[in-house]
């Protein structure tokens, strides 16, 4: 909500700006009608659009760079090595990749199903995890990615138990040199 308020304040600021103050001129050149139209109509809209794009990009970068917590109540945090052990020990382990499709295209862990955090609900989880006590593991990009943490919290709130969380995520997987698939 704070970000929306800040964007509203930025909008008010840009509405009060005079484009002529942003484009310094030496002397008083004679402008053609087309140049005046460009200066007074097009440039302010273009400048405003660019500012919103930059602000939106910075906002999205800050959202995706939110570090994940050290632990999540109701889940067991695992390392890449423990992940592999779980796959060997639990043949019916459901592996959920909580990343967005663009990240998954860069590579994913074999056997994982894509369920981005933004699509994770009790209903979507029920389609992938057969029973509330079925073993399941969630991962995303790594410790700076909060997507799997969000998905794990939703799963716990939906009543799922036996949840494993691979906090190091795909980043740790790659650092270890483990194999992965790519679309």
Structural domain contains residue 35: yes
Residue 123 sits in the same domain as residue 52: no
Please tell me whether residues 80 and 160 are part of one structural domain. yes
**Residue 81 sits in the same domain as residue 164:** yes
| Domain shared by 44 and 120, yes or no | no
User: Does some domain include residue 160?
Assistant: yes
Find the mean pLDDT for residues 125-153: 97
Whether the predicted pLDDT of 6 surpasses 50: no
Q: Determine the average pLDDT of the residues in 151-177.
A: 98
- Position 183 in a domain: no
For residue 129, tell me if it sits in a domain: yes
Query: How big is the chain, counted in residues?
Result: 183
131 — pLDDT class (breaks 50, 70, 90): very high
Kindly state whether residues 42 and 19 are assigned to the same domain: yes
Same domain, 167 and 84: yes
Domain stop point among 29, 45, 64: 64
Q: Give the CATH number, domain containing residue 85.
A: 3.40.250.10
Domain co-membership, 91 together with 128: yes
Helices (H) and strands (E) in the chain, counts: 9, 5
Range of the domain at 37: 2-64
Query: What's the rounded Cα separation, in Å, for the pair 64 and 53?
Result: 16
Higher-confidence residue of 43 and 182: namely: 182
Q: How many domains does the chain have?
A: 2
Residue 84 and residue 148 in one domain: yes
pTM > 0.75: no
Q: Return contacts of 64-68, CB within 8 angstroms, 24+ apart.
A: 64/145, 65/144, 66/144, 66/146, 67/143, 67/144, 67/146, 68/140, 68/143, 68/144, 68/145, 68/146, 68/148, 68/149, 68/167
């Amino acid at each position: 909500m704070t970000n929306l308020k800040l964007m509203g304040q930025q909008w008010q600021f840009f509405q009060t700006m005079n484009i002529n103050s942003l484009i310094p001129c030496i002397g008083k050149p004679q402008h053609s009608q087309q140049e005046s139209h460009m200066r007074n109509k097009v440039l302010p809209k273009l400048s405003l659009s660019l500012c919103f794009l930059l602000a939106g990009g910075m906002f999205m970068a800050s959202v995706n760079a939110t570090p994940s917590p050290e632990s999540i109540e109701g889940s067991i945090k695992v390392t890449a090595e423990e992940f592999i052990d779980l796959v060997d020990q639990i043949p019916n382990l459901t592996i959920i990749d909580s990343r967005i499709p663009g990240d998954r295209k860069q590579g994913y862990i074999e056997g994982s199903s894509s369920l981005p955090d933004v699509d994770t609900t009790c209903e979507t989880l029920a389609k992938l995890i057969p029973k509330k006590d079925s073993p399941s593991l969630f991962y995303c990009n790594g410790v700076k990615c909060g997507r799997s943490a969000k998905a794990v919290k939703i799963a716990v709130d939906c009543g799922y138990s036996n949840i494993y969380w691979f906090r190091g995520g795909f980043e740790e997987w790659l650092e270890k040199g483990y194999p992965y698939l790519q679309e």
